[in-house]
Every structure is written in structure tokens, then in C-alpha cells.
Amino acid sequence: MSKDVALVLSSGGARGLAHIGAIEELQAQDYRITSIAGCSMGALIGGVYAAGKLEEFREWMKTVDRKKIFELTDFSLSINHIVKGTRIIEAIMEFVPDVPIEDLPIPYCAVATDWKSGHEVVFRKGSLFQAIRASISLPIFYEPVRRNDMILIDGGVTNPIPMNRVTRHKGDILVGVDVSGHDYLAQWEKMNKLAGMQKHDKSLKAKLLDMIIPDNIEFNYYTLLSRTSSLMIRQNSILMAKLMKPDVLVDIQMSRYGGFDYDKSERIITIGRQKTQQALKIFTR
């Protein structure tokens, strides 16, 4: 069986730190990552790995707490974004130098979305960090990247897990790591069954619901837009998996950690490693 892997990493904000654990587990089991494609946080982790700086990035993430997150957030008064997004990229570039994508030791690509045309944009050459910055441009939150005649926003809008964009080599294994899922319904049904309370004990039911949905989610403009976006991204991820039929799909659905929990990197990385180990065990049976 081939040990060569074409690796695809999804969008997902801080949940994408699980990609680090996925890569580490692949390496621990002697798989060789021969190409990589990523979207949003997956583009960042994939790019850092392709540049040979994943270990340094993980160590840096250990220093990130709520205070540091605030310090790295360069707020803006613009009407189309909240954060410029320059400060975080500059911080990472202190230990991951910018390089042309075509000079990386393995084929790499990142995807973004052109807001004007609605088309997916695939970066296979040029500045690594320009590609990453475009791919992570979460609408409304980060300032869009202007390139040529395009206004580039997060790649998750069009292709959250770009399995159809990764470079393939003969006999390689297609591995996708998807952290875009929030399967609250399945978790809720499981909790209902375990508690044996489908028809009674509303107070306990409410407490369990608070455990499943982080931060006691309320139904308002922000949560409505955020949840709707997450659902659309999830459906696109599912459709891509059905279309491309990866050899291994590491489906990491989180509810405990959100898209901005960057201060919980080690816990999220551990989840990524555990889930990848489970998926590889099934694959090699």
C-alpha cells in the first residue's frame, strides 16, 4: 500500500488547529505528504507545513492567550471589515519567511473567493503569505485582499475543502481533514438517548443543550448569520467528499471549541491527532 499522501485541509477558524495533529499523526505512522491543498485555516497550516515550519508554529501557538489574541487584532473603522489582518500575518512571518509557492519543496495551493465574480481563485504560485492572507479573509471580519481586479475573501465561501485542487501523483492516497462540521443535532439526540428524557425533565434538557451549544448561543442577528454560514460551508464540504471520494476522510465535528478559540491550541491539536489515528485505523483494516 502506498504511503504517499495528497493532503487536503479544510477551513474552520481555530478548529483548524486540529490540522496540526492530523499532520503529526500521518508522520508518526510513516505517511509521506507529497502535496497539500488548503482553505482558510487549512491554507495557513498547510502553507506553514510546506515551508517546513510547522513545529515552530505549534510552539508559537502555545504562547497565544486571550491577551495576545487582542494584541494581534488590528481593529479597523472600515465599513466592510472589523480587522485589518496585517498584524497576525506579520507575527507569523517572523518565524515563517515568505517564499514563492513554486519554490516550496512540495506542491501546494490555497483557495480564495473573488467577491466580485463569485468564482473560486486557486493560488499555485506567487507569494505564500499573499495566498494565505486571501484564503483566510473571513467576510466582514477580515479586510478583503485586493489583487488585480479582484476582491478576495475566504475560500470557504466556494470550496471549504478543496479536494479537487490538490496535486495528485500516481498511486497516492487522498486524505481530507474536515473541521467545518457542527453536528449539534446528532449530539443532542445522543444526549437525549443517554439521559432517557425525550418527554420530560425540561430543566435537565436545557442544561444539556447549554453543554452542546457553546456560550449559551442565543437567536439573534449575529448567531443567525454565523450559524447559517456554517451550515452552508458544511453542506459544501459534504458534497465535495461525495464527489471526490477520498481514501481517508478525517471528519472532526466540534461543538466544544469555536472558530476563535486560538488560546486552546494544544487541546484542539490533540483532537486532530486522535481523530486521524481513528480514521487511519479504519483505512488500514
Computed from CA positions of residues 27, 8, 51, 63, in that sequence, does the dihedral angle turn out positive or negative? negative
List 114, 154, 172, 261, catalytic entry: 154
Q: What is the DSSP string of 43-61?
A: HHHHHHHHTT-HHHHHHHH
Instruction: Let me know: does 41 contact 12? Beta carbons within 8 Å.
Output: yes
Q: How many residues does the chain have?
A: 285
List 10, 11, 35, 40, catalytic entry: 40
Q: Is 154 a catalytic residue?
A: yes
| CA 152 to chain CA centroid, nearest Å | 18
Q: What is the DSSP string of 106-167?
A: S-EEEEEEETTT--EEEE-SSBHHHHHHHHT--TEEEPPEEETTEEEEEGGGT-SS-TTTS-
Instruction: Let me know: does 244 contact 164? Beta carbons within 8 Å.
Output: yes
Number of neighbouring beta carbons within 10 Å of residue 74: 14
Q: Is 40 a catalytic residue?
A: yes
Question: Given the C-alpha cell 486522535, which residue does it identify?
Answer: 274
Find residue 108's DSSP bridge partners.
36
> Which cell numbers in the block locate residue 69?
489574541
Q: Are strands 4-9 and 173-178 parallel, antiparallel or unpaired?
A: parallel
Instruction: Let me know: does 279 contact 28? Beta carbons within 8 Å.
Output: no
Q: What residues are labeled active site? A: 40, 154
